Copies of this chain bind each other. A is one copy, B any other.
C-alpha cells in the first residue's frame, strides 16, 4: 500500500512539468486510488468501444494509440511514454475511442474514472493541468495530421523521431545524444501512413546522410539541429506556449 502510494510519481512529474503544484495538490494526486498491473508486449491495454471504468497511467514501457480502417489497415495516432495517461479521455467519455496496445512490456497504474474527475474539480490546480494535458495530446494529434497530410516520407520519419526525442528528453528519459525507438519498421509505417517497405528504404537513405545512427532499438543523434530543420520540426506544439 505504501508502495502504491508512491507509484504515481511519474504522473506528478509530468504535471509539474506544466506548472508547479502546492504540496496539498501533490498529495492529492499521489493519493489517487489505483492498482498496478503489468502487461505483455503486444497485448491491448484498452480496446476501442469498450466501457472503461479505470484509466491507465503508463509507469514504464511504451504503448501506441491506434485505430483500424475497414480494410484492416492500422493507423497509429500517438506514442505513449512513461508518465502518460494512455486514455485520460475515458475519465469523461463513456467508451474508449481508440485501441491502445503495449509496444513493449509495460507497467500501468489503473485509476478509477470517478476518482480522477473528483480530484480535478476538488483541486482546480490539478484539474487545469489534467485538462491541459488532454489539450496537448490533441495538439500532438493535429501535428500528426500535418505530418501525414502534407509531408513526404523522409520528412515524416524525421519529424516523428524529433518528437519522440523531445518528449523523452523533457521527461528525462533520453540518454546523452540518443533515445529509444522501440518501433519496428512496420510500426513506423503505421505511425507515418507509409508501408514498412518504404520506411525501410527511407531509413537507409537517411542513415547514409549521417544525421543519426540507428542501433537495435535506439537512435544516436549526430546532428540534432540539422534533423529538426529538415523535419520541419517546431517543438512549440508540444508545449503550453511560453
CB-CB < 8 A to A93: which residues of B?
Answer: 132, 135-136, 240-241
Q: Are A232 and B141 in contact (CB under 8 A)?
A: no
Complex alpha-carbon distance, A138 and B143, angstroms: 12
**Which bucket holds chain A's interface residue count?**
35 or more
A69-91 CB contacts (< 8 Å) to partner B: 69-71, 73-75, 77-78, 89
Q: Is A178 an interface residue (CB 8 A)?
A: no
CB-CB < 8 A to A149: which residues of B?
Answer: 75, 144, 148, 192-193
Set B49, B75, B135, B137: member contacting A145, Cβ < 8 A: B75
Q: Are B97 and A142 in contact (CB under 8 A)?
A: yes
A44-72 CB contacts (< 8 Å) to partner B: 49, 65, 67, 69-71
Complex alpha-carbon distance, A93 and B129, angstroms: 10
Chain B, residue nearest A122 (CB): B124
Q: Is A205 an interface residue (CB 8 A)?
A: no
Q: Are B49 and A236 in contact (CB under 8 A)?
A: yes
What are 18 A-B interface contacts by the 8 Å CB criterion? A49-B241, A65-B142, A69-B146, A69-B151, A69-B232, A73-B150, A89-B135, A92-B131, A93-B241, A95-B242, A96-B241, A97-B236, A97-B241, A131-B134, A138-B138, A141-B141, A141-B145, A144-B145
